[in-house]
């Protein structure tokens, strides 16, 4: 199973890539849980799911016992039940959870985050691949959403702004709670020198190179997932990214061979 979260400056293509990744992984007969923690819906579009502004309700969590974890899933609700009740089924049978509340009310987001943390802790690790889209930017708070992630994929374009944000993300990820792997996906690439520039700036493995592809902009304007529009360079590149992830970041393989992450 793969557990990967996509981060990066707003607008670099996180949602397009993460949603497409989830769809393509699911097409390989894998159970996929797609998790969008961005307060503004993005992943739904690239998953091909009608945008649903319906975050999980507040009452999924209740106050925990004295001295213990502050919020726990309400009695009778376990991880499997949570996913069953609140995930929206999408194309290729991707199950989609949206935690953002688009009006930015902090308390609701926090409860959602706690619910999600509990679900991650309790869920059967061999039941789901988890593919997540994080909020844009590098605010610390967003990492509360990424604790499930074994791989943090920082999406970077060959622009100064995107590289600035990516560097901040890379720096924050040195914390002890950070994901085991921090890697880079280069997006909107025109030439090999773009990849070199990104690689030099971030000093992390570039595990995916996604070229500029006008079909993606077309798909965006038509409110279609790039997967459902017309396959082109973008889709091919994300396919390759899925293959790399399956080869290198499969938690089950790692455990079986007892490799250190």
Residues that bind another protein (CB under 8 A): 9-12, 15, 39-42, 45, 51, 102-104, 135-139, 157-161, 164-165, 168, 217, 220-221, 223
Q: How far apart are CA 183 and CA 154, in angstroms?
A: 6
Write down the least CB distance from residue 125 to another protein, Å: 32
Which C-beta is closer to another protein: that of 132 or that of 150? 132
Write the DSSP symbol of residue 87.
Answer: P
Residue whose pair of structure tokens reads 């520039």 in the numeric block: 197
Which C-beta is closer to another protein: that of 10 or that of 64? 10
Write down the least CB distance from residue 160 to another protein, Å: 3
- Closest CA relative to residue 15, chosen from 122, 98, 116: 98
Which C-beta is closer to another protein: that of 129 or that of 187? 187
Q: Find how far residue 104's CA is from the centre of its chain.
A: 19
Write down the least CB distance from residue 142 to another protein, Å: 10
Write down the least CB distance from residue 95 to another protein, Å: 21
**Which strands form 206-211's sheet, in the order they lie side by side?**
88-89, 95-98, 32-36, 129-133, 3-7, 151-156, 181-189, 206-211
Which C-beta is closer to another protein: that of 50 or that of 76? 50
Write down the least CB distance from residue 222 to another protein, Å: 8
Q: Is 9 exposed, middle or buried (0-12, 13-18, 19+ CB in 10 A)?
A: buried
- Beta strands 88-89 and 206-211, pairing class: unpaired
Which C-beta is closer to another protein: that of 45 or that of 116? 45
């Amino acid at each position: 199973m793969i557990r990967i979260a996509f981060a990066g400056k707003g607008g670099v293509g996180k949602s397009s890539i993460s949603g497409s990744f989830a769809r393509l992984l699911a097409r390989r007969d894998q159970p996929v849980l797609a998790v969008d923690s961005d307060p503004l819906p993005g992943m739904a579009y690239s998953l091909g799911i009608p945008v649903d502004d319906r975050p999980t309700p507040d009452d999924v969590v209740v106050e925990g016992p004295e001295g213990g974890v502050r919020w726990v899933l309400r009695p009778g609700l376990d991880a499997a039940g949570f996913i069953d009740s609140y995930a929206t089924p999408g194309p290729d049978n991707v199950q989609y959870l949206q935690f953002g509340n688009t009006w930015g009310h902090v308390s609701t987001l926090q409860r959602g985050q706690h619910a999600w943390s509990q679900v991650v802790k309790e869920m059967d690790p061999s039941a789901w691949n988890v593919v997540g889209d994080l909020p844009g930017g590098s605010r610390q708070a967003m990492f509360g959403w990424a604790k499930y992630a074994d791989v943090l994929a920082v999406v970077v374009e060959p622009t100064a702004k995107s590289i600035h944000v990516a560097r901040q993300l890379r720096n924050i990820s040195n914390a002890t709670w950070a994901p085991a792997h921090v890697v880079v996906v280069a997006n909107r690439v025109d030439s090999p020198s773009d990849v070199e520039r990104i690689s030099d700036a971030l000093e992390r493995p570039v595990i995916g190179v996604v070229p500029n592809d006008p079909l993606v902009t077309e798909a965006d304007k038509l409110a279609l997932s790039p997967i459902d529009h017309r396959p082109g360079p973008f889709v091919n590149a994300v396919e390759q990214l899925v293959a790399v992830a399956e080869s290198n970041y499969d938690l089950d393989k790692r455990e079986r061979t007892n490799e250190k992450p």
